[in-house]
């Protein structure tokens, strides 16, 4: 039992170190130039393609672009004059990192909010164990759900801990298709598992 605990702790520390190193890799800035235009500046140390999306406060996509070539730096002046007054969210995805920047347009002025970074959790299924590691930057209340054929069979409240590290012993489950879901207020991540 102590050996399993030590292995799980080592797993958690390695996953934690890898994700911490990745956090500084994606930065998004919105720099208003005038009442209609803003410079969007994105820097990524990974040199990967980017998915850039702007959504309104109802979650409707008003702009989407995927860059064709990997890049460390992306700069573009955007004309926001076609957007109505309201709140918007600019999100950029690079590999397993998502960085978001809220902005508001009121009477021709652009007000930029704080930057939020999300790293996708690390899931692994190995030797009968489901392993999960996640850095909860937003400190949301997280819950882990486990489903078999879309039927909930297990729930665990994780809370708002910054460093989430869990391991579930699935060795006694029957063959079948399962899904683990890590869910918070704003984010939900799923991981399918096939037990043979």
Query: CA dist 128 to 77, 124, 167, Å?
Result: 51, 10, 10
State mean pLDDT over 84-92: 94
Higher-confidence residue of 11 and 195: namely 195
Domains 24-118 and 121-195 in one fold: yes
Q: Whole-angstrom Cα distance, residue 182 to residue 145? A: 6
Q: Which of 22, 19, 41 is nearest to 30 (CA)?
A: 41
Cβ atoms of 28 and 116 within 8 Å: the answer is no
Confidence of residue 18 (pLDDT cuts 50, 70, 90): very low
- This prediction's pTM: 0.67
How is the chain split into domains, by residue range? 24-118, 121-195
Give 121-195's CATH code, choosing from 2.30.110.10, 1.10.3080.10, 3.20.20.100, 2.60.40.10.
2.60.40.10
Q: What's the pLDDT score for residue 23?
A: 45
Dihedrals phi, psi of 14, to nearest 5 degrees: -65, -45
Spell out the residues 6+ positions from residue 8 whose beta carbon is closer than 8 angstroms to its own.
129, 131, 165, 167
CATH topology of domain 24-118: Immunoglobulin-like (2.60.40)
Q: What's the pLDDT score for residue 10?
A: 42
Encode pLDDT of 20-46 as tens digits.
444 457 889 999 998 888 999 998 877
């Amino acid at each position: 039992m102590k050996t399993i605990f030590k292995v799980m702790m080592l797993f958690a520390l390695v996953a934690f170190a890898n994700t911490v190193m990745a956090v500084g890799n994606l930065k998004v800035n919105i720099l208003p130039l005038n009442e209609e235009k803003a410079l969007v500046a994105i820097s990524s140390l990974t040199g990967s393609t980017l998915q850039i999306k702007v959504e309104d406060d109802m979650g409707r996509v008003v702009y989407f672009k995927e860059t064709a070539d990997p890049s460390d730096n992306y700069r573009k002046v955007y004309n926001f004059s076609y957007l109505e007054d309201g709140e918007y969210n600019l999100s950029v995805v690079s590999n397993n990192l998502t960085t978001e920047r809220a902005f508001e347009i009121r009477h021709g002025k652009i007000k930029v909010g704080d930057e939020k970074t999300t790293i996708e959790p690390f899931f692994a299924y190995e030797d009968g164990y489901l392993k999960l590691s996640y850095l909860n930057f937003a400190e949301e209340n997280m819950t882990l759900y486990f489903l078999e054929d879309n039927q909930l069979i297990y729930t665990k409240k994780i809370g708002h801990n910054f460093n989430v590290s869990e391991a579930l012993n699935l060795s006694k489950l029957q063959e079948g298709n399962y899904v683990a879901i890590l869910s918070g207020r704003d984010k939900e991540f799923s991981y399918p598992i096939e037990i043979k």
